[in-house]
Amino acid sequence: MGAEKQADLHTHTSRSDGLLEPAELVALANDAGLAAVAITDHDNTAGVHDAVSAASALEIEVVPGIEVSTRTANREIHLLGLFIDPDAEVLAGLSRRQRKWRRERAEVMVERAIKLGLDIDLARVDALAAGAPIGRPHLAQVLLDAGEVISTQDAFDRYLGIGKPCSVPKQMVDTKDAIAAVHEAGGAAVVAHPGSSRVREKILTELASAGLDGVEVMHPRHERRRQHIVRGLCEKLGLLPSGGSDYHGPGRGDSRLGEHSVPMDWCEGLRQRANRYQTSTKGC
């Protein structure tokens, strides 16, 4: 890597299903020597302001972001919005809707877990999420705290992973609508971890025609071969490359902050793309 400045453009805080407070995450990213870190919590932007304030006393830049769970056909596609306005009304509306859907889903998942005889209830899940959109990692943590599983990974392997007894699909916004929402909020729209979502050329081509700006090349679930394939698709489809650690805090998930980070050039490319949407919306 040498001395080239790096950006980690995919992280989660306690404002979704991460473990660290936004300010803690920013301090850690600064200590890691990153030039920029994007806060991309699931379906909400509540952590962005705290992260930006924390960064004001440091060298590091915070890129305001979001990771929206979206649907295309029968597939769950995670869409990152980078350089968004965290206060954009369009994102606030989307967050309200997804938060409600996630809470309803959590109710069903908890009911299933109780039927299996597991020690869990919705009140503990709500308390742990503390207003954040509820994700399966919150349920996994409650099961871990109750001694029902030996790790959060164990909770996914036995109960919460796709096809396991407590897994319930999410209701999600259509991917193309989410791309439009990200643009309206002045951000660049980027497909996250296409490798682990099984998003291949056909879908990326379709989304590129719908205005998609970029795609993650670097991600903990992308081995070298996948990085190479996605990089090739970027060039073929005119998409910008992005990437990051998808960090969820110490011990949660399989990556460390700053791993799979990208050169600042990539970050600048995305910033310039987002600028286009900001100037075009200001003119309306």
Measured CA to CA, the distance from residue 176 to residue 189 in angstroms comes to 10
- Per CB under 6 A, the segment of 112-120, 129-137, 236-244, 266-274 that binds ligand AMP is 129-137
Measured torsion, CA atoms of residues 265, 270, 271, 272, in degrees rounded to the nearest 10:
90
159 binds ligand AMP (CB under 6 A): no
d(CA 262, CA 51): 20
Tell me the C-alpha distance between 99 and 51, whole Å: 21
Applying the rule CB under 6 A, the residues between 2 and 21 that interact with ligand AMP are 17
DSSP letter assigned to residue 151: S
- Summary count for the chain: helices (H), strands (E): 10, 9
Q: Does 8 bind Zn ion (CB under 5 A)?
A: no
Which of 99, 124, 136, 273 lies at the binding interface for ligand AMP (CB under 6 A)? 136
Binding-site string for ligand AMP from residue 24 to residue 53, where x marks contact by CB under 6 A and - marks none = ------------------x-----------
CB nearer to Zn ion: pick between 157 and 268: 157
Contacted by 136, from Zn ion, ligand AMP, Fe ion, none: CB < 5 to 8 Å by type: ligand AMP
H or E element at residue 189: strand 188-191
Mask: binding to ligand AMP, 73-112, rule CB under 6 A, as x and -? ----------------------------------------
112 binds, among Zn ion, ligand AMP, Fe ion, none (CB under 5 to 8 A by kind): none
Rule CB under 5 A: say whether 67 interacts with Zn ion: no
The binding track of 17-56 with respect to Zn ion, each residue x by CB under 5 A or -, is x---------------------------------------
Q: What residue spans of 37-84 are helical by DSSP H?
A: 48-56
Tell me the C-alpha distance between 145 and 152, whole Å: 10
What b/e readout covers 130-157, taking b as 16+ CB neighbours within 10 angstroms?
A: eebbbbbbbbbbbbbeeebbeebbebbe
**Residue among 156 and 277 whose Cβ is closer to ligand AMP:** 156
**How much of the chain is helix, strand and coil, in % rounded to 5?**
45, 15, 40
Phi, psi angles (nearest 5°) of residue 36:
-150, 150
Site string for ligand AMP, 221-260 (x = CB under 6 A): ---------------------------x----x-------
Cβ atoms within 10 Å, residue 117: 7
Which one among 15, 78, 136, 158 touches Fe ion, defined by CB under 5 A?
Answer: 78
Interface residue list for ligand AMP (CB under 6 A): 17, 42, 69, 135-137, 153, 156, 161, 170, 248, 253
Point out which residues bind Zn ion (CB under 5 A).
17
